[in-house]
Each structure stands twice: as structure tokens, then as C-alpha cells.
Structure 1
Amino acid sequence: MIGILIASHGRLGEEMIRTAEFIYGEIPKIRSANLNGNEPISVIRERMARLIDDLDDGDGVIILTDIFGGTPFNVAISLMNTKKIEVVAGFTLSMVLKLATARNDMRDLGELARFIVEYSRKKIYLADNPIKENKI
């Protein structure tokens, strides 16, 4: 099973997992890497590498980060040459919930990463008139 690592500033990733599990129930093979702002990059990188190793049973790990270009994202992409990972920036609750179920059917890491990005793009709406547009 593909692992999920949520890397974020502060405790956003930890709270995202807590919220997702409140809705979905226990989600296996999911962890968070929280950045507190006081740690050297080398310490953050080492911690993320250990979490990836813990989550990867051979199928790889998708790393979800809070923002493109932030420290969690930059550290994650620095591990791409040494770990079997895909990195997706800009996680949402609907993304995490869908990923928890979709990885049961999809074993290809790259395919799952592309799927979850496209799925998530379609789940962002401007609620100007959702009933009229049949979005509900």
C-alpha cells in the first residue's frame, strides 16, 4: 500500500490527519511531519527521510505539502532522488480523504499522484450558485 506523509508548517498536517480520521475512521500508513520553525533543514530532512522509510513497504509514499515552495515542499523534493516518492503541494481535506481510499485500488505511485491532483482540482468550487449549476 502506498504510504501518505503530510508535511506542513506548524501542526496543520497532524490536525489534517485527525480531521480526516474523524470523518473516515482510522487511516493506515499515514503520518505527519510538522515543522516548528526552529529546526535546521538537515534535521527536518532526516526526520522526513525516516518517516518515508517507515511508511514505504515497497509501493512508495505520496508526500502532501501545505504550500508550493515552502520548506516542507523544498525538503520533500530534495528527497526525490533517494526515495520512492511523489510530492504534491496544496493539500485539502477532500484530497486526503480520496487518497485514503484511492490507494487501495491504485498501486502505481505516479498514476496515483496524477489522479489525486486532477481529482482535487475538480473539487474546488466557487459557491456563487451551486444549485443552479447542479454542483450539489
Structure 2
Amino acid sequence: MISIILTGHGQFAFGLYSAAELIVGPQENFKTVDFTQEMSTDELSEQLQHAINQLPKESEILFLTDLLGGSPFRSSVELAMQRKGCEVIVGTNLQMLTQVLMEKDEYKTITELATVALGWGKQGILSFKHKKNADTQRQEGGEGI
């Protein structure tokens, strides 16, 4: 079983989950932890540990975080290193989160899920203008030698 903890600065976790919930519905074995301005990093770590404790003991945990090097990322990494069956992803976006929530039960290991989740996140980042230009070039045969 794979459980998910979504964490980030401000209302990132709650806001992103709120949007995902509109698309995929409420989720089990899922926790959000927001790192608010009033919190210390110790309080953040305590809240993340509390979230872990609320999840099934046998589950693997995928931490989804917002910003590389940020406190939510660092605290997640510290906790993940203390426990088997954890992965931490940084740069989480709505595309990634909704795909993870819809397809997490299709993967046997947390490592497999984390690997494909990175691809889903990247697929969700593009520029309409650049995509349109690339499609037009393909149609006109602009990709020749």
C-alpha cells in the first residue's frame, strides 16, 4: 500500500489537494502538511511525523514537496531517511498530483510510482505557443534535415 504526504510553503499543500480533490475525489491514506509563516522547522517536522503516524504502519510513503532545498523538502528527506519505503519528490504540480492519485494503486513499489510521477509532472509543464509552433512545423515538414 502506498500513502502520500503533500507538503509545502504557505497553503501549498491544502490548496493543491483541494484542486486535485475536485478532479479525482477525496483520497484515503493521504495527508497534507502546510508550512505556515508562524511555524518553526521543528514544528513542521513534528507535524510531518504526526501525519506519518496517522497512516497505516505497513504503507510505503511518497512525500510530495514544493521547492528544492526548502524546509518542507528538507524535513521530508530527514524523515524519509529514518524509515524504509519512502520517496521524496520535489516540484510537485497539479498534473503530477492528480495522476499519482488516480494511478498509485497500479504500482507495486514506491520507487516505480516515484519514477513515473516525475514524468507526469514534466508532461504538465509546457508552453502553448511553443507547442503550437512545434505542431505547425511538423505539419509543414519543418523537421527535415
**Same fold at TM > 0.5:** yes
Cα offsets for 1:84-123 (capped at 9, x unmatched): 3211001111111000022111120111111101222123
Extract unaligned runs of 5+ from structure 2: 137-145
Structure 1 residue aligned with 2:140: none
Matched, 1:40 2:51: no
Between structure 1 and structure 2, the one with the greater Rg is: 2
Q: Shift of residue 52 of structure 1?
A: 1.6
Structure 2 residue aligned with 1:97: 98
Extract unaligned runs of 5+ from structure 1: none
The number of residues matched between the two structures is: 134
Q: Shift of residue 126 of structure 1?
A: 1.4
Matches for 1:1-136 after TM superposition, within 5 Å: 1-83=1-83, 84-131=85-132, 133=135
8 Å contact kept, 2:2–2:110: yes
Structure 1 residue aligned with 2:141: none
Counterpart residue identity of residue 98, structure 2: L
- Normalising to structure 2: TM-score of the pair? 0.84
Cα offsets for 1:28-84 (capped at 9, x unmatched): 221110111222222211210120222244231111111111110011111122123
8 Å contact kept, 2:95–2:120: no
- Percent of aligned pairs with the same amino acid: 22
Task: Select the structure that is richer in helix.
Answer: 2
8 Å contact kept, 2:13–2:33: yes
**Dislocated runs of 4+, deviation >3 Å:** 129-132
CA distance in 2, matches of 1:131, 1:104: 34
Counterpart residue identity of residue 95, structure 1: M
SS at match of 2:131: coil
Aligned-residue CA RMSD in angstroms? 1.7
